[in-house]
Amino acid sequence: MTDKSAAPEKKDFIRKIMDEDLEAGRVKTIVTRFPPEPNGMLHIGHSKAIVIDFGTAEERGGYTYLRFDDTNPTTEDTMYVESIQRDVHWLGFDWGDRLRFASDYFDQLYEWAEVLIRDGKAYVDSLNEAEIREHRGTVKQAGERSRYADRSIEENLDLFRRMKAGEFPDGSHTLRARIDMANPNMKMRDPLIYRIRHAHHHRTGDKWCIYPMYDYAHPLSDAIEGITHSLCTLEFENNREVYDWFVENVPCNARPRQYEFARLNISYTVMSKRKLLELIEAGIVDGWDDPRMPTLSAYRRRGYTPTAIRAFVNSIGVSKANSIVDKMQLENAQREELNYTAPRRMAVLEPLKVVLTNYPEGEEEHLEAVNNPERPEDGVRNVPFSRELYIEREDFMEDPPKKFFRLAPGREVRLRYAYFITCEEVVKDANGTITELRCTYDPATRGGDAPDGRKVKATLHWVSAGHAVEAEVRLYDHLFAHPNPLSVKEGEDWKQNLNPTSLVTLKQCKLEPALMEVDQGYRCQFERKGYFYVDQDSKPGALVFNRIVTLRDTWAKIEKQLKHQGKL
């Protein structure tokens, strides 16, 4: 199999820039970084950044830093630095000994801030938060420099050192770059470099009470690490000018460049930490790893594979246009892999009993079933067969429409790897609910072929009643009913438009006995139903399976059409 999770052969604009820089000798090794802030869980949107950051460098023999952007002690937590590392590893990337924290550079960053002051390029401002906002002007109006901007270098240095020494309360002073309060780019209007925060930092403890801002810390951390290509998302385009200003005005000897690409959005879900948190707090999902969430921990729990996620990311390309990728594209990547790797098993999710009236009572036999038709080398297994079986309820219709060619009264179908059976009688209870089908089987069709060349139009999966293993099966679907949950009318809550069947839990499903002893983490295809994964809640004797993704289902499409036309 060709590795679909490998780099795309068509180069995107970032890969082109890297190769040009290499060829022109502007850089000799590609060095990138993935810079998460440790204040939340990673979601599939991040996997695009991760795959691009690590992938582009790796392909070119370069390397990547995993750098936590921990410049804001009030929102960050070590618990996230662990979960983020686990997720990046799970996706299949390794940073070797290049784990870093922006806080590792606090001393250097501080030194360079003093250099900026000495060069007259930074000053201590003592405006309060509201005043700073007012002085910044608006998007269409120039700002105005602070009345504190003209302090002497000595005074600035003294004030800054006392800020560092903890002499002032939070918010009383800031260090700002002296750039241009009238710049049409708001980010260039004397951006803040340091703010006072008497807060405990998860790594530096109480050493600091001033913390650098992103616009200052990020470019210079890149410079310190020798990052050549600093890749980020579109909303930072305006920050690039500040990025360059700091790199050029501080005595670092590196020249990293920032490039921006569009972040990943997927239909039928939302992709921001804040909104995901809202879903949890509203009780709409069970937590960060609820399999309906787009977090990496949720995909992992649901049963998605890291290789499929990487293949998906590589399939969508890299560009600068905002977009929402069809979730089918992700599902396709997962099916493509599992079709090749997942063993096939039979499982009846919504059982309907079938009694073979001409099959001897008390008898059983074992029939050979292929493990994976895509890979004959995976061999075969034996599946027990007997007089009483279960088939899928939806595989029988008493009064079938033209296009339904599964089991119906008087109709003959094949039981996969077993026999042809014909439905002779429908048994119902007092409410008219079908409780049992009485059928006959043709002993000559053992294995599933008729010696007389007779054909059937359908093959059903089944499980022998006496041998069935019971399990709980959780069928997952997208959480939202609308492809773009956020496109709601004014005043409407985006959390309203939910898919009522995003989770359907089925108990007492009937599985073939080969599934009896599977462990957590086991993945297989339930024939004709989809790909499934043994959930972490699963225990021997109380198995729990998650549906990762369905199989493509032509009948479901026809059924939907028929219902739409009122013919069903």
Partner RNA sequence: UGGGGUGUCGCCAAGUGGUAAGGCAGCGGUUUUUGGGGCCGCCAUUCGCAGGUUCGAAUCCUGCCACCCCAGCCA
Alpha-carbon gap, residue 303 to 300, rounded angstroms: 5
Q: Considering the candidates 98, 145, 203, 263, report the single residue annotated as catalytic.
A: 263
Nearer to RNA by C-beta: 323 or 435? 323
Q: How far is the CB of 129 from RNA (least distance, A)?
A: 4
Alpha-carbon gap, residue 382 to 377, rounded angstroms: 16
- Its sign, for the CA torsion 20, 25, 30, 32, is negative
Nearer to RNA by C-beta: 77 or 336? 336
Nearer to RNA by C-beta: 221 or 546? 221
Is 331 catalytic? The answer is: no
Q: How far is the CB of 135 from RNA (least distance, A)?
A: 9
Q: List phi, psi (to 5°) of 546.
A: -105, 140
Distance of CA 125 to the CA centre of its chain: 43
Cα dihedral 69, 70, 74, 78, rounded to 10, equals 110
Nearer to RNA by C-beta: 62 or 191? 191
Q: How far is the CB of 142 from RNA (least distance, A)?
A: 9
Host H or E run for residue 440: strand 434-441
Q: How far is the CB of 212 from RNA (least distance, A)?
A: 7
Q: List phi, psi (to 5°) of 539.
A: -135, 155
Nearer to RNA by C-beta: 167 or 537? 167
Token pair recorded at residue 566 = 């009122």
Q: What is the DSSP string of 184-246?
A: SSGGGSS-EEEEE----BTTTBTS-SEEE-HHHHHHHHHHHHT-SEEEEEGGGGGGHHHHHHH
Nearer to RNA by C-beta: 364 or 368? 368
Q: How far is the CB of 62 from RNA (least distance, A)?
A: 21
Nearer to RNA by C-beta: 324 or 506? 324
Is 510 catalytic? The answer is: no
- Its sign, for the CA torsion 443, 511, 351, 478, is negative
Q: How far is the CB of 171 from RNA (least distance, A)?
A: 4
Q: Considering the candidates 4, 11, 37, 187, report the single residue annotated as catalytic.
A: 37
Alpha-carbon gap, residue 301 to 298, rounded angstroms: 5
Q: How far is the CB of 375 from RNA (least distance, A)?
A: 10
Token pair recorded at residue 260 = 């921006």
Is 263 catalytic? The answer is: yes
Cα dihedral 313, 315, 316, 317, rounded to 10, equals 90
Q: Considering the candidates 4, 136, 273, 375, report the single residue annotated as catalytic.
A: 273
Q: What is the DSSP string of 475-497?
A: EE--SBSSSSTT---TT--TTS-
Residues identified as active-site: 37, 263, 273
